[in-house]
Amino acid sequence: MYDMNISILMASLLTFLAFVIHTFVGDKELKINEPTDSYLENDQKREKWTMARCGWHWVSFDLLFATIGLSIINFTDYFDNEKTLLQILTIYFFGYAIVWLLVILLSKQFPKNFLKLAQWILLFIIGSLIYFGTN
């Protein structure tokens, strides 16, 4: 019999919410930058925009997959070593947060950039919830 973990449940819900917003709202925002004209010199812009969109939805899949994994861990006894998987997911979300912060630091600055691009906070919160849910 499994024991539901509130911390892991909250991490799973936040991850699912992030997935929904990232997938649907984020894609709509990406379309703002979509190249509209079809001149030959714009083909490279279209290619780069499409590649960025594919990368965007790669992250969407990561969020969905993490949600599914957290839910399976929280609501079943399917995995033999759940603690190891949760430790990996903790490192995974902390790693995402650190990379996010590094990219902000390495990019050209704009007013309140750490607050306007505050996804790193969500990633640290999810990682922390998983960490505390593991122990």
Q: What is the pTM of this model?
A: 0.89
Q: What's the pLDDT score for residue 9? A: 96
Q: What's the pLDDT score for residue 19? A: 97
- Contacts of 34 by beta carbon, 8 Å cutoff, 6+ apart: 49
* 34-81: pLDDT as tens digits: 887 766 566 888 888 899 999 999 999 999 999 999 999 999 989 999
Q: What's the pLDDT score for residue 1? A: 47
Q: What's the pLDDT score for residue 39? A: 61
And the tokens for 98? 């650190």
